Amino acid sequence: MRKNAKNPKIVVIIGPTASGKSALAVKIAGKFNGEIVSADSRQIYRGMDIGTAKPTKKEMAGIKHHLIDIKNPNQDYSAGEYKKDAVKTINKITDAGKLPILVGGTGLYISTVVNNWAIPEIKESKKLRLKLEKEIDKKGLDFVFKKLIKIDPEAAYIIDPKNPRRVIRALEIALLSGKKFSEQRKVGEPLYNVLEIGLNPPLEILKERITKRIALMIKTGLINEVKRLVKKYGYKQRAFDAIDYREIIDYLRKNISLKESIMQMNTNTIRYAKRQMTWFKKYNSSAHWLKNPASLKLRRASKNEACLRRQAFGLVKKFLD
């Protein structure tokens, strides 16, 4: 918990993908008169619904959600832009006498708000990008990623190594600025009085949830969603390098089978979940990690949720009193 009596109070919910953050946020918002501010770098895009596990109207349960569906997949959106939008939104919620609840798995987005990071805007270099793209075509993505590890290991550790555009962008920022990620970000005075609540199910349970979620995505129309998006925007959009989209695009382009696509989605999502936890443990040291109930091992979903909810409610009540 970060205390500063002068600053407005906000609740932040963090954790890896498929840990139950969104559902818990809705319950807290309903109990404590709150509104939700999304901190998900994929849910900002219109039309990318199934593959991002975007909450449905039913799942939102009448709670207002902000910073979802604010951009088209062919539009860029930086962490700096997110910070401006999030701060503006949080302040409006506070002014209305409600509790802002920041929830999501994009660690950088959360840190710009919670830790008041200022991320410098480094302009793209077409010349450097072209050079790196040619290098990837010639020597492979792993070769270029290893280059990033040498130049800026911290940046390499937090990005998706299988996402060529993220790798290129990280290298571009490091090479053009001449500074490492840790040297670029500037930490300002706290903007808010923050209560951070963390969810971190055991890895075996998380893997099981991820497998079920991906199966449900396929069943509920992810392939058709990707087809529609590609037809409208083309497949060379940065947004489509996201996990669950790039694997389906590879399948649609006949580079891999559907079975291989699903296997890759599972593997890449689990790796992503591990990277998320690495980030949160490093940059969100004040978080209160909820204790996983014993019933979690028995897959008693309703009891698990009730136990976690009670812990969260207790923390929020104490924080607001």
Q: Is 25 annotated as a binding residue?
A: no
Distance in angstroms (rounded) separating the CA atoms of residues 53 and 218? 12
Domains of the chain in start order, with CATH, are 9-119+185-320 (3.40.50.300), 126-184 (1.10.20.140)
Residue 309 predicted with pLDDT over 80: yes
Buried b (16+ CB within 10 A) or exposed e, 286-302: ebebbebbeebeeeeee
Q: Is 261 annotated as a binding residue?
A: no
Residue 2 predicted with pLDDT over 60: no
What is the structure's pLDDT at 184?
Answer: 74
Q: 244-290 pLDDT, tens per residue?
A: 999 999 999 999 999 999 999 999 999 999 999 999 998 998 999 99
Q: 201-232 pLDDT, tens per residue?
A: 999 999 999 999 999 999 999 999 999 999 99
What is the structure's pLDDT at 296?
Answer: 59
Q: 132-157 pLDDT, tens per residue?
A: 999 999 999 999 999 999 999 888 87
Least confident of 40-49, 91-100, 142-151: 142-151
Q: 231-244 pLDDT, tens per residue?
A: 999 998 989 999 99
Residue 299 predicted with pLDDT over 70: no
Residue 199 predicted with pLDDT over 80: yes
Q: Is 22 annotated as a binding residue?
A: yes
Q: Is 21 annotated as a binding residue?
A: yes
Q: Is 15 annotated as a binding residue?
A: yes
Q: Is 16 annotated as a binding residue?
A: yes
Q: Is 131 annotated as a binding residue?
A: no
